[in-house]
Structure 1
């Protein structure tokens, strides 16, 4: 992966994290945005796999293969148990045997077999979904399970490639970057729909897109402002007198800090109706950190 692609991938990751932190109401106001974002996340994870990086989960956080295997095994075990209960009550012996797996049993399976077994559990549950409501199985639950299984499949190491295969992989990587860039462009066009209602979202989207340019490459911090119950708080003013810095966070409470000077600085967060909150942030060149700012209602 060349330097230009590294910057581009950094932009993809920051953009993914920004969108994941955006209020669902904003995303829902842009028809087809969720579908485009889903395709985009899949392309980014394919790039991550090809370049040996960790993959991203739905929240935009990097995740280890062993962690995602534990997650799908837990979800698969829970869903399998519910389907087994339904099968037992209705004397569906074949169905019972097809999904007779526990969380611990799934974890012990080899990677590819674990993935295949989890998909069997998903498909069988989906096949009987209409009858599984009393057992607590929902379409949303199965959708999340399938997405995690697909993420797990991406994280499974593939056989090392030979010289010719590596050339093909390099060419394939270029294609994946192009496809992901096309999806970013399509999502950006949709942001015009909410320019009037959510101008801060559009501005933050543009800022995230710029990170692939050399001048915007270094991201010092990514943060979120929440209240005491964990709900996002938008339209908060953040000020650092030492850096002569003043900005408002996005409508969804998110903010990014780029090219900050090394050192420890105090940032003051304020908004009418909330107690003023002071947060110390440490910046060091080459390092990026996440911060959560908690503001109490006045």
Structure 2
């Protein structure tokens, strides 16, 4: 669940707990109790959807990541030996074929990693006997084939995880829209009690504020206008660093930090479109982002790895 959703969920739970503890004060509007019950039911569904989203990621993602690192480790062992042979014999074709490092392999899209590894094995096989003095043997080339097969078998599961996370995110948006609608009715009824019990009403209003530090003024008192958020990996749920986030049609852009955070300061309020790019991932675009003067609009999103 995105940070904005987490903050809103936390706020709504606190509000409902407050109303539940003060149920005796809600009798002035019988319909209010029904709305509170409805909101509690929706929040429960939000919680269960979030749990399902998290649990669906754990098994497949961990398995795929472990196999991927095993494949890369085995392939680097082959590459290192083949590179030594190519360098000594000045085999330019082989040298080009095995010109891969850990970072290059690790950043490849999932299907591309399999293709690259198979190509390297294929290029090494005809010359493997010549590379015996460099420690490369037919057994090493054969040993990586089942690893590649296991990795390929894990990919459909990973794609299922991505599909599940997408579905859960869509469901959460619907559920939050539903609970927002219910709380608008609760807010309207609570306004009725503002004159009769101002302290109770003010405490309710205070709890209805979402805790989002990005919307607060900076320490020097200057209010910033812009867009900020956190970018995650759709497949793993982990924060995604190095994503180029830009405001379409402007020169404003930035990279996400190690924790996936980004901040884009804008000169003026308006309606903007956001685009995010990272090699090995599908581009992300979001339109109609409303930015108010002196406020930071929060836009959290996920980057989906290329298939």
TM-score of the aligned structures, taking structure 1 as reference length: 0.34
The structure having more radius of gyration, on CA atoms, is 2
